[in-house]
Amino acid sequence: MAIEAKLDLVLVAEKSDPPVCRIMDFGKLTYEQKKNIKAQKKHVITQKLKEVKFHINIDKHDYDYKLKHGFEFLEKGAKVKVTLVFRGREMAHKEIGFELMERIINDLSKHGTAEEKPKLLGRNISVTFSPLGKK
């Protein structure tokens, strides 16, 4: 059994006179191109967005625990979306939700900056934080 290699002409300098070509193995060429594309994708930095959800009637320990996760995400360089979710009749007390959100913004301001003011969208109030110093 003989293995046939598909050979292809690759233009090295097509604008020269006469054009310069190189005979190459087409399979090897495509393999190297895929390998280069894969190596380029490794070096691309994607922006990560992490989310921490709160409710109005949150206990002190739960609040501290979730805030600690927000600190860790910001220190690792990820953006953090803080969402306050209203359940049932809690929508009647939006002012309590905005007070809690202001408290969260003050506590997280040591590690990140709020990109905008808290917004009420449906049953959620949300704010996105970006980290202070990138590593």
Give the tens place of pLDDT for each residue, 52-78. 999 999 999 999 999 999 999 998 888
Q: Angle CA(47)–CA(105)–CA(70) in degrees, nearest 5?
A: 45
Asked whether 104 and 67 are in contact (CB, 8 A), the reply is yes
Mark residue 96 as left, alpha or beta (left: phi above 0; alpha: psi -120 to 50; beta: remaining). Answer: alpha
Residue 1 falls within a domain, yes or no?
no
Residue 97 falls within a domain, yes or no?
yes
pLDDT on residue 135: 44
Asked whether 114 and 96 are in contact (CB, 8 A), the reply is no
Q: Are residues 15 and 71 in the same domain?
A: no
* Domain count for the chain: 2
**Within the chain, which residues score under 70 in pLDDT?**
1-6, 11, 133-135
Q: Are residues 38 and 94 in the same domain?
A: no
pLDDT on residue 20: 79
CA distance 45 to 40: 11
Count CB-CB contacts under 10 A for residue 105: 17
Residues of the domain holding 25: 7-42
Residue 2 falls within a domain, yes or no?
no
